């Protein structure tokens, strides 16, 4: 992917629960496209409800890439994700379709859109295990505070409860002596990109996120979490640090009633939404912001103009 042969890539980004998947499906009624997921949790098998993974019916309507890539006991590194994403983009473009990058994980989305030069620090298994134990013993917030002290830039972009990413950032710093934020440099873009961002009034978005939490609970989030634990996935596993699973696991283990777990999920989802706006800034002129409810025709006009200019 270089020079005049760089494929066009459209991205839909924005906070959780804003309606990115819905917009992607609506666009697919007009544009021959396939979706490349930029959601760090949807890559895990068996984690469907809590990650709001596109349903089987939605995946039949539109082909999705990078879903169900690894088991919850495994880890998909950012470098691995980036490589798989570029492979998917190449494959989609080679078949004459439009690659559509969709997701709210800023780390994943920008790694592709900006062609990050990702630190090649190999996993430090002993250090990683020690940090995981500290997170379990002292709490995620305390581990995140340690990252604030050594790499405040990275800490500002990583949610305190995304233990996996906090540990990786600390791992890179301790192994190399250089903050990960200084090593994640941008390369030359490999795609010609159009970035569409979805946003909304904060009170509307929080209410929508709360409603989705209730929907997840009614659709079987508790049962899904039970199944993961029964399959041997530790409640302390990095995959379980995602919103919803950790809180439900704590409830199942007797730490709090289910109603309290639901309240905590909502509170932390609101916090995560605020964190996402540090990745996708409303002042970023590269992003064509659309306020919800989105007019699909205006988005189609943006896409059509972009594709015409890319020819």
**C-alpha to C-alpha distances, 180 to 81, 135, 143, 170, 278, nearest whole angstrom:** 17, 19, 16, 8, 17
pLDDT digits (tens, 9 = 90+) for 274-304: 999 999 999 999 999 999 988 899 999 999 9
User: Which candidate, 72, 71, 54, places its Cα nearest to that of 63?
Assistant: 54
Helix axes 106-113, 258-279, angle to 10 degrees: 30
Note whether 150 and 33 are same-domain residues: no
Q: Decide if 2 is inside a domain.
A: no
Q: How far apart are CA 27 and CA 12, in angstroms?
A: 11
Give me 78's structure tokens: 């950012």
Note whether 197 and 263 are same-domain residues: yes
Total domains in the chain come to: 2
Note whether 133 and 195 are same-domain residues: no
Q: How far apart are CA 45 and CA 128, in angstroms?
A: 23
Query: Residue 92 above 60 pLDDT?
Result: yes
Q: How far apart are CA 205 and CA 213, in angstroms?
A: 12
Report which secondary-structure segment, H or E, holds 196.
Answer: strand 192-199
Percent of the chain with pLDDT over 70: 98
Percent of the chain with pLDDT over 90: 70
pLDDT digits (tens, 9 = 90+) for 225-275: 999 999 999 887 878 888 899 999 999 999 999 999 999 999 999 999 999
Note whether 110 and 172 are same-domain residues: no
Give the CA angle between residues 114, 18, 277 to the nearest 5°.
Answer: 50
pLDDT value at residue 2: 43
> Per-residue pLDDT averaged across 147-160, rounded?
90
Decide the pairing of beta strands 33-37 and 64-65. Answer: parallel
Provide the domain limits for residue 209: 7-118+185-310
pLDDT digits (tens, 9 = 90+) for 181-234: 887 777 888 899 999 999 999 999 999 999 999 999 999 999 999 999 999 998
* Mean pLDDT taken over the chain: 92
**C-alpha to C-alpha distances, 186 to 20, 52, 109, 189, nearest whole angstrom:** 25, 30, 13, 8
3 confidence band (pLDDT: 50, 70, 90):
very low
Q: Decide if 235 is inside a domain.
A: yes
Q: Decide if 244 is inside a domain.
A: yes
Note whether 94 and 164 are same-domain residues: no
Q: How far apart are CA 224 and CA 226, in angstroms?
A: 5
pLDDT value at residue 235: 85
Query: Residue 53 above 90 pLDDT?
Result: yes
pLDDT value at residue 200: 96
Note whether 68 and 85 are same-domain residues: yes
Note whether 27 and 92 are same-domain residues: yes
CATH assignment of the domain containing 168:
1.10.20.140
Note whether 168 and 226 are same-domain residues: no
Residue 205 near residue 15, CB atoms below 8 Å: yes
27 confidence band (pLDDT: 50, 70, 90):
very high
pLDDT value at residue 35: 98
Q: Decide if 178 is inside a domain.
A: yes
pTM beyond cutoff 0.95: no
pLDDT value at residue 185: 73
Note whether 191 and 302 are same-domain residues: yes
pLDDT value at residue 148: 94
pLDDT value at residue 123: 76
Instruction: Please tell me whether residue 187 adopts helix, strand or coil conformation.
Output: coil
């Amino acid at each position: 992917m270089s020079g005049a042969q760089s494929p066009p890539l459209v991205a839909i980004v924005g906070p959780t629960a804003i309606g990115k998947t819905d917009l992607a499906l609506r666009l697919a009624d007009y544009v021959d496209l396939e979706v490349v997921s930029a959601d760090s949790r949807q890559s895990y098998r068996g984690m469907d409800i809590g990650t709001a993974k596109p349903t089987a019916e939605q995946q039949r309507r539109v082909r999705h890439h990078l879903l169900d890539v690894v088991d919850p006991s495994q880890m998909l590194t950012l470098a691995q994700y980036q490589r798989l994403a570029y492979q998917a983009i190449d494959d989609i473009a080679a078949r004459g379709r439009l690659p559509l990058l969709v997701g709210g994980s800023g780390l994943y989305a920008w790694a592709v859109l900006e062609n990050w030069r990702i630190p090649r620090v190999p996993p430090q298994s002993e250090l990683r295990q020690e940090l995981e134990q500290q997170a379990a013993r002292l709490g995620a917030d305390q581990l995140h505070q340690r990252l604030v002290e050594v790499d405040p830039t990275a800490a500002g972009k990583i949610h305190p409860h995304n233990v996996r990413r906090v540990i990786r950032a600390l791992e890179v710093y301790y192994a190399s002596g250089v903050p990960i934020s200084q090593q994640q440099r941008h390369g030359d873009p490999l795609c010609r990109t159009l970035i569409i961002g979805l946003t909304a009034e904060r009170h509307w978005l929080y209410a929508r996120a709360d409603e989705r939490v209730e929907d997840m609970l009614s659709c079987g989030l508790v049962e899904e979490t039970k199944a993961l634990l029964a399959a041997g996935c530790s409640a302390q596993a990095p995959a379980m640090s995602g919103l919803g699973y950790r809180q439900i696991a704590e409830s199942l283990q007797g730490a709090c009633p289910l109603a309290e777990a639901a309240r905590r999920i909502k509170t932390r989802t609101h916090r995560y939404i605020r964190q996402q706006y540090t990745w996708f800034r409303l002042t970023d002129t590269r992003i064509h912001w659309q306020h919800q409810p989105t007019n699909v025709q205006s988005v189609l006009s943006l896409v059509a103009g972009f594709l015409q200019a890319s020819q």
